Amino acid sequence: MPPKAITPPVKVKTRGGLDATIFEIDPGDLQDGISGTVYTPAMGEITKSWSEAGICSNASHDLNIDPHDPVVAAVIGQLRAARLQ
């Protein structure tokens, strides 16, 4: 199944307090099905991906997102529903 855009993209905070934007889910990616960007002071905007548990791949824990945040939980719900189709 191809990736699906999140429209409009959703804004969240990472565990480290950084601004993140989630713009896509990929039901076919069983490891990191959530994609977006994080704005870091040192590197500017960087593309990242997260698991359903909110863990950011190949990054510090500061870039993780909270899967219990209602906005993130809604995205995870969309991802799970898309995987069942």
Q: What is the mean pLDDT of residues 53-60?
A: 95
pLDDT band at 85 (very low <50, low <70, confident <90, very high): confident
Look up the pTM and report it: 0.93
Contact predicate 35/17, CB 8 Å:
no
**Domain span at residue 10?**
4-84
Which of 41, 8, 38 minimizes the C-alpha distance to 20? 38
pLDDT tens column, 28-47: 999 999 999 999 999 999 99
pLDDT score for 65? 98
Phi/psi region, residue 44 (left: phi>0; alpha: psi -120 to 50; beta: rest), is: left
User: Based on the structure, what is the number of domains in the chain?
Assistant: 1
Tokens of 46: 């960087």
Q: What is the mean pLDDT of residues 55-84?
A: 96
31/9 Cα distance (integer angstroms)? 21
pLDDT band at 21 (very low <50, low <70, confident <90, very high): very high
